[in-house]
Amino acid sequence: MVVAWLGFAGIGIIMARYFKDTWMRGDCCGLAQWFLWHRFLMMSTWGLTVAAFICIVVDVGGFDYSLPYNNPHPFLGLLVLALVSIQPLVALFRPSADTSYRWVFNWAHWFIGNSTHVIAILTMFFAIGLPKAGLPTEVTWMLVFYVGWYLVTHVVLSLNICWADNLPSSRSQIYPLSGRGSAEIGILEENVYLEKDKPGSGCRIFCLALHLVIVVVIILLIVYAVIMAPDNMLLELGLIHQQV
């Protein structure tokens, strides 16, 4: 769940929101780079979420309907699983871009995706309080730092897009190829065009790379805390036994 929602989901949302006019020359099989990465990251999020849910059910031996210490983690987890399973179906039946009701899909896809991401992060905060998790309080601050950094990344990239849109050559203008060498072989390239990236692509790529580094570090720290949690619990129980 940590890898899925802190890593793949957040990056997939950023790719779809800010990189539609980046890597314009790097399409693959007629599909834009941002779409290929967005689809891969979000389907990976779905796959990891389903796999994690199965592992949880097997480990617990079923679904615990009780709320330990009034903790809503189990029910929020089910809600995340339902929403992340609905989202690919919504995307599968998306209408053509030139239809009059495409905006309905755009808003629905945006709302479900972002809502699921927010609920998933909130569910992680509640997981820290579960006795079975045995996570240290430091994980809370790691999640807080992730949320803060994620918001900062959105703000910086939003400012970048606003700046690029206000330039005279905004929205990925179409520029003709240089045509260098065409005269030597007698080929006229008047109708050959190449789409360029929206201005500020270098800044966006740098922000994405920096975001990747920061997020990977956060994920590794939290995963390490999760792995070490059972040993820490046993150690605490042993110390308590010695004191008694």
Domain spans of the chain, in order of start: 2-140+218-243
d(Cα 129, Cα 218) in Å, to the nearest integer?
19
Instruction: Please report, in tens digits, the pLDDT of each residue of the chain (244 residues total).
Output: 999 999 999 999 999 999 988 877 766 666 788 888 999 999 999 999 999 999 988 887 776 655 555 788 888 999 999 999 999 898 888 888 788 888 888 899 999 999 999 999 999 999 888 877 788 889 999 999 999 999 999 999 999 999 988 877 654 444 443 333 333 333 333 333 446 778 888 899 999 999 999 999 999 999 999 888 765 554 454 554 444 4
pLDDT score of 98: 81
Is the separation of the CB atoms in 77 and 63 below 8 Å?
A: no
Q: Whole-angstrom Cα distance, residue 143 to residue 125? A: 7
Tokens found for residue 191: 């109708």
The C-alpha atoms of residue 192 and residue 109 are separated, in whole angstroms, by 35
Q: Supply the pLDDT for residue 125.
A: 93
Q: Is 185 left (phi over 0), alpha (psi -120 to 50) or beta?
A: alpha
Instruction: Quickly tell me which residue has 């834009």 as its tokens.
Output: 32
Q: What is the pLDDT of residue 145?
A: 97
Phi-psi group of 70: left, alpha or beta (phi > 0 → left; psi -120 to 50 → alpha; rest → beta): left
- DSSP conformational letter for 28: B
